[in-house]
Amino acid sequence: MKYDQARWTHDEDRYEPLLSEKHTAEAELDDSPLPADLTRDSLELPAPSEPEIARHYTRLSEMNYGVDSGPYPLGSCTMKYNPKFTEDVAALDDAAVHPDRSPESVQGTLSLLYGLQDYLGRIGGMDAVTLQPPAGAAGEFTGVLVARAYHEHHGDDRTEIIVPESAHGTNFASAALAGFDVVELPGGDDGRVDLEALDAALSSDTALLMLTNPNTLGLFERDIEEIAELVHDAGGLLYYDGANLNALLGRARPGDMGFDIMHYNVHKTFATPHGGGGPGAGPVGVVEDLAPFLPSPQVERGENGTYGLFDPEHSIGKVHGYLGNWLVLVKTYAYIARLGDPGLSDASAKAVLNANYLASQIEYEVPYGPFHHEFVASAGDQDAADVAKRMLDYGVHPPTTKWPEIVSEALMTEPTEIENRTTLDQLAEAFNAVAGEDDETLRAAPERTTARRIDQTSAARDLRLSWHALDEA
């Protein structure tokens, strides 16, 4: 079936003025007790009507693309739809709790947090959970600090952390930030951990092996029990990067595989908001021996049924203010409670089914397999970045590109469980349409978006975080 490009045609010249560029009103300022260098003589404020404001932000929203707009198969990042009922729960009056109130006055809050600790512990097969870390990377760093504290407490001076070459970039960064030397582990021919290479990398200096299972290629590490045994025999700990837990819900638990520490990306697995710098949440779970080293404080339930706070015996201290990003955690709790065990199992089943179905429908080469929640195709002779830009013209968000480097011109794709077959076919049609186009067309893309191709390197290095910066351009 020929893909209909016309339905995605946009007005290339469409421009939405800033509110400051529309008519403004001059505000009269009264005398202020503030110092002169903190005040101004006049203030220009936008003065549009309510309909103008509504239309302004509606037009801006139409110029952007998000998971509410259409399929968003960004591999590894797991851009899932955020159910609106969780926003309703977080907006309840009873959720507006000041974080510095006494435990006696926030028993409902502590009950929910204790319940979430229990939910996550059971889902991951962990004995204790902290909710403090405000993001997945912060969870990684917290887990590494817990491992370091554990080894130091037992008199072990371990200086190395092993990270597979296919691992998330934050694994390398978290290990280095905590002061460890990073040992990169090459993969085997099947895209999984090479047991001989792992055995050679392990030593008395090994503090931790950081592993994602399924891995970044969407492949389950079939030798996970042997991997855990090798690491533990060397005196090290096994860390689970929870980025891909979405593939295992209700079917397998990292704790049962031999992992000692894990973090949960609740935005990936439990559909809380993702991106934009936060707020987020990256809870960390540990086995019993590591529980005394978790951040302080922890929520506990007393014998009389009341909830309170306690400091783990050998705590690494705080990693975030109070007990974490409360409202994000409320959404996590609500999502898990609404789905229940059957719903979580159904989510992982559909995530796996959707990934394998989409992989079977596209014309690009897809090495390895079968897959769990994601797969990595190769753009072949095409430039993966150009493929991504061109896919925007077909009304879909492109996959992650150029990574992992194990696959040449990688197109890392994760449809998640939220998409139906119609949407998956739409994605496949977009992939296949671009696969048949010439390099000149790809290099000119995107052509049908509000903004054309930008200089991403300069945009990342020369940040303009305010509309005032436009005057300096």
Quick one: pLDDT at residue 473? 59
Q: What is the pTM of this model?
A: 0.90
Question: Residue 472 has what pLDDT?
Answer: 66
Distance CA 228, CA 238 (A): 7
Burial level of 38, CB count in 10 A (0-12/13-18/19+)?
exposed
Segment 56-69 mean pLDDT: 89
Whole-number Å distance between alpha carbons of 119 and 353: 25
Q: What is the DSSP letter of 471?
A: G
pLDDT beyond 80 at 247 = yes
Strands (E), 131-236: 160-164, 181-185, 206-211
Q: What is the dihedral angle through the alpha carbons of 68, 399, 135, 161, rounded to the nearest 10 degrees? A: 170
- What is the pLDDT, as a whole number, of residue 28? 65
Q: Identify residue 413 by its one-letter amino acid code.
A: T
Q: Sketch the domain layout of the chain as residue ranges.
A: 14-63, 85-337, 341-460
pLDDT for position 8: 42
Identify the band that residue 4 occupies on the pLDDT scale cut at 50, 70 and 90.
very low
SS3 270: coil
Pick from 410, 429, 408, 406: which is nearest to 358 by CA? 429
Residue 137 CB partners (closer than 8 Å, separation 6+): 170, 173, 174, 282
Distance, CA of 88 to CA of 116 (rounded, Å):
18
Alpha-carbon span 281 to 329, nearest angstrom = 7
pLDDT in tens, 157-196: 999 999 999 898 899 999 999 999 999 999 999 999 999 9
Residue 219's region, left for phi above 0, alpha for psi from -120 to 50, else beta, is beta
Give the whole-angstrom CA distance, residue 142 versus residue 158.
17
With 70 as the cut, is the pLDDT of residue 447 above it?
yes
pLDDT of 317-372, one tens digit each? 999 988 999 999 999 999 999 999 999 999 999 999 999 999 999 999 999 999 99
Give the right CATH number for 341-460 from 2.40.10.480, 3.90.1150.10, 3.40.50.300, 3.40.50.2000: 3.90.1150.10
Planar angle of CA 273, 57, 73, nearest 5 degrees:
40
Class (C level, CATH) for 85-337: alpha beta
pLDDT of 7 above 50: no
Q: Tell me, what's the pLDDT at 39?
A: 83
Q: What is the mean pLDDT of residues 372-400?
A: 96
